[in-house]
């Protein structure tokens, strides 16, 4: 028998109800896998719409007391992120090579996911991002496509993110700002020295530096305090609750409904289906590594662009021998990371980029470059910041010709730490079908599950994009008056190593054609009517970096549409 996810919305009012504890035997309306940027928002929307929601998160639930300024604990011991010893990955440059064990992918592994420790640069996509393939035409060796939805479809939800999650910025400050229905709810953060320098550089190059939209409170907002400008932001958790992670926003909102349980330390290893092809629930490992089967009427996977495809591929069954929701074979394909290039400059006076939020000014004049002029397809934006905490500065901060030890090295550290600016270029990167995640059966994680194997080679077009942006980043620093400047080398396209990629996009892309996409325009799996995927994996193109604003906007939209479909009885369940 097939019944339907049906529920009556209840008004949320009066004293905060108790957080429910659902029994594994009870089929909750929705299991949400992953509590990150997307998962937190989906849980909020579905529980506020009246549904019983259980969020399963593999990471721990942390709070302000855990978010210390300790580089060793947070960065080196990967306290907030996935760990090599527990969940490594493997990497190879092409399918004919043997993959080597390393850490190709890094993401937040705690309640709140990547929104806990991220930098909080929060750009909307522009209308062009959704329909660029139509404008540019096909590019050989890629699966470049238009999105099945438009900027206009997402606009109300971008606005919802800005107001319900909390974004500071200045509407209209950018000549390139996409149309918006409302201004930002909070003014931008104060301009830092990095921002002043960026304005100077931009002016010389004929560009406009404008206040950066940041998912950080610039004043007390909805019960949260304003940012203390502590500076340990990029890569760290916020101990005053000012960073607008889902941990501090969507998840407490969801819990306030009394219908949402967030269950940390639960690692989902399989989504189960019945012989009719409907999802019946999920199997997870609890903290003691015991297996639990949790029943659910429907499942929403929000495990990010790396873990969502892996979970689908691990959820093989007789009915779905290539992995769940993978009749197209597209699950795991087309992984995009965005280009991310860096130039560095040392200035005469103190910049002290280690204080305050990471970024106060950005440039978007280069969002859409003219291929006829530059000789490649692509675009992006810039920001100025100081990314180095003290230990990392010692490794990577001094100019390249500086000796690596001794008196001169020490001098360069002493001079440079307060005076160095990193100019970032954030760019497009093309979807390529052979750039993918597959299961590596030869390497197991600490639970005995196959790890993610990344096969990845930069598209030749993108190598040009990265070079162009690295050169311009250096130009900007020079124009701002840097006394010394240098760019980090950009990818060559034949590296056998990869560092931890953090923007994980495109691996369960949305589309109208079930033969070439995994989910439909409403985030429902083409192959399984009570299964949804919402996160970085849904994106068809990668935008110009800073994907999380779009991930949250998609999550608001998906939550809305899934709730509506459930109320109309359009989500069959196994019963």
Ligand X SMILES: Cc1cc2nc3c(=O)[nH]c(=O)nc-3n(C[C@H](O)[C@H](O)[C@H](O)COP(=O)(O)OP(=O)(O)OC[C@H]3O[C@@H](n4cnc5c(N)ncnc54)[C@H](O)[C@@H]3O)c2cc1C
Q: Which residues of this protein are in contact with ligand SF4, per CB under 6 A? A: 216, 227-233, 236, 238, 240, 242-243, 357
- Confirm or reject binding of residue 159 to ligand X (CB under 6 A): no
- Judged by beta carbon distances under 5 to 8 A according to partner kind, the member of ligand SF4, ligand X, another protein, none in contact with residue 58 is ligand X
What SS3 state is found at 308? helix
Single out the residue of 235, 341, 268, 274 nearest to residue 39, CA to CA: 268
Interface with ligand X (CB under 6 A), residue from 56, 186, 260, 324: 56
- Confirm or reject binding of residue 336 to another protein (CB under 8 A): no
Binding mask 72-111 for ligand X (x = CB under 6 A): ----------------------------------xxxx--
Residues 449/311, Cβ–Cβ less than 8 Å: no
Please give the C-alpha separations between residue 562 and each of 35, 396, 525, in angstroms, as whole numbers.
17, 46, 12
Residues touching ligand X, count (CB under 6 A):
40
> Of 461-500, which residues contact another protein (CB under 8 A)?
488-491, 495, 497-500
Q: What are phi and psi of 205, to 5 degrees?
A: -90, 0
Interface with another protein (CB under 8 A), residue from 166, 195, 252, 345: 195
Interface with ligand X (CB under 6 A), residue from 47, 87, 90, 121: 121
- Judged by beta carbon distances under 5 to 8 A according to partner kind, the member of another protein, ligand SF4, ligand X, none in contact with residue 216 is ligand SF4
Interface with ligand X (CB under 6 A), residue from 125, 128, 311, 423: 311
- Confirm or reject binding of residue 75 to another protein (CB under 8 A): yes
**Residue 60: is it exposed, middle or buried by C-beta count within 10 angstroms (0-12/13-18/19+)?**
middle
- Judged by beta carbon distances under 5 to 8 A according to partner kind, the member of another protein, ligand X, ligand SF4, none in contact with residue 138 is none
- Contacting range for another protein; rule: CB under 8 A; set: 150-158, 191-199, 446-454, 455-463: 191-199
Helices (H), 37-147: 37-48, 71, 127-130, 132-136
Please give the C-alpha separations between residue 99 and each of 104, 285, 310, 411, 441, in angstroms, as whole numbers.
11, 27, 16, 41, 11
- Non-local CB neighbours of 409 within 8 Å, separated by 6+ positions: 398, 402, 403
- Strands 339-346 vs 484-487: parallel, antiparallel or unpaired: antiparallel
Residues 154/539, Cβ–Cβ less than 8 Å: no
Pairwise CA distance, residues 260 & 10, whole Å: 13
Interface with another protein (CB under 8 A), residue from 97, 219, 276, 349: 349
CA angle, residues 46, 307, 553, in degrees to nearest 5 = 40
Interface with ligand X (CB under 6 A), residue from 7, 20, 29, 39: 39
Interface with another protein (CB under 8 A), residue from 77, 442, 513, 570: 77
Pairwise CA distance, residues 38 & 254, whole Å: 13
Interface with ligand X (CB under 6 A), residue from 536, 543, 559, 572: 536
Pairwise CA distance, residues 105 & 73, whole Å: 19
Interface with another protein (CB under 8 A), residue from 85, 96, 370, 494: 85
- Judged by beta carbon distances under 5 to 8 A according to partner kind, the member of ligand SF4, another protein, ligand X, none in contact with residue 37 is ligand X
> Structure tokens of 80?
């907030």
Q: How far is the CB of 22 from ligand X (least distance, A)?
A: 16
Nearest residue (CB) to another protein, 229 versus 292: 229
- Confirm or reject binding of residue 45 to ligand X (CB under 6 A): no
Q: How far is the CB of 322 from another protein (least distance, A)?
A: 31
DSSP category for residue 395: H
Pairwise CA distance, residues 27 & 29, whole Å: 6
Residues 421/482, Cβ–Cβ less than 8 Å: yes
- Confirm or reject binding of residue 542 to ligand X (CB under 6 A): no
Nearest residue (CB) to ligand SF4, 227 versus 421: 227
> Of 116-135, which residues contact another protein (CB under 8 A)?
117
Interface with another protein (CB under 8 A), residue from 19, 208, 317, 418: 418
């Amino acid at each position: 028998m097939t019944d339907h996810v049906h529920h009556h919305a209840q008004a949320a009012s009066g004293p905060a109800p108790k957080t429910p504890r659902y029994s594994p035997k009870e089929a909750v309306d929705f299991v949400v896998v992953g509590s990150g940027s997307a998962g937190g928002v989906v849980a909020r929307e579905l529980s506020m719409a009246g549904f019983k929601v259980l969020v399963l998160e593999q990471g721990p639930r942390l709070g302000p007391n855990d978010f210390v300024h300790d580089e060793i604990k947070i960065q080196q011991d990967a306290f907030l992120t996935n760990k090599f010893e527990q969940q490594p990955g493997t990497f190879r440059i092409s399918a004919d090579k043997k993959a080597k064990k390393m850490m190709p992918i890094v993401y937040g592994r705690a309640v709140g996911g990547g929104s806990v420790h991220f930098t909080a640069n929060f750009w909307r996509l522009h209308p062009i991002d959704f329909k660029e393939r139509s404008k540019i035409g096909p590019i050989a060796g890629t699966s470049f496509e238009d999105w099945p939805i438009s900027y206009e479809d997402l606009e109300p939800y971008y606005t919802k993110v800005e107001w319900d999650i909390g974004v500071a910025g200045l509407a209209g400050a950018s000549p390139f700002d996409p149309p918006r229905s409302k201004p930002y709810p909070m003014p931008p953060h104060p301009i830092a020295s990095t921002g002043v320098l960026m304005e100077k550089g931009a002016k010389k190059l004929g560009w406009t530096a404008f206040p950066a939209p940041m998912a950080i409170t610039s004043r007390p907002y909805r019960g949260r305090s304003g940012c203390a400008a502590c500076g340990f932001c990029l890569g760290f958790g916020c101990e005053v609750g000012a960073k607008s992670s889902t941990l501090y926003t969507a998840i407490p909102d969801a819990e306030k409904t009394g219908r949402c349980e967030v269950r940390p330390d639960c690692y989902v290893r399989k989504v189960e289906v019945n012989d009719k092809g409907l999802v019946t629930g999920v199997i997870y490992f609890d903290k003691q590594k015991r297996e639990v089967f949790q029943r659910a009427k429907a499942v929403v996977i929000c495990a990010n662009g790396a873990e969502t495809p892996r979970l689908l591929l691990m959820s093989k069954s007789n009915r779905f021998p290539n992995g769940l929701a993978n009749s197209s074979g597209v699950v795991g394909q087309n992984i995009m990371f965005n280009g991310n290039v860096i130039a560095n400059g040392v200035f005469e006076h103190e910049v002290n980029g280690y204080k305050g939020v990471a970024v106060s000014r950005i440039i978007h004049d280069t969002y859409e470059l003219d291929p006829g002029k530059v000789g490649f397809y692509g675009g992006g934006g810039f920001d100025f910041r100081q990314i180095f905490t003290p230990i990392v500065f010692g490794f990577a901060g001094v100019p390249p010709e500086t000796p690596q030890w001794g008196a001169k090295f020490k001098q360069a550290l002493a001079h440079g730490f307060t005076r160095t600016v990193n100019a970032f270029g954030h760019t497009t990167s093309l979807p390529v079908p052979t750039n993918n995640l597959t299961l590596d059966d030869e390497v197991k994680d600490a639970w005995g599950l196959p790890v993610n194997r990344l096969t990845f080679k930069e598209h030749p077009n993108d190598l040009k994009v990265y070079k162009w942006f690295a050169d311009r980043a250096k130009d900007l620093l020079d124009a701002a008056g840097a006394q010394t400047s240098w760019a980090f080398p950009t990818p060559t396209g034949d590296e056998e190593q990869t560092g931890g990629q953090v923007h994980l996009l495109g691996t369960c892309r949305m589309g109208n054609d079930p033969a070439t996409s995994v989910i439909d325009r409403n985030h429902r799996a083409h192959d399984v009517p009570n299964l949804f995927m919402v996160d970085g994996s849904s994106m068809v193109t990668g935008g110009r970096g800073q994907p999380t604003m779009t991930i949250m906007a998609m999550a608001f939209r998906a939550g809305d549409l899934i709730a509506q479909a459930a109320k109309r009885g359009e989500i069959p369940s196994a019963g």
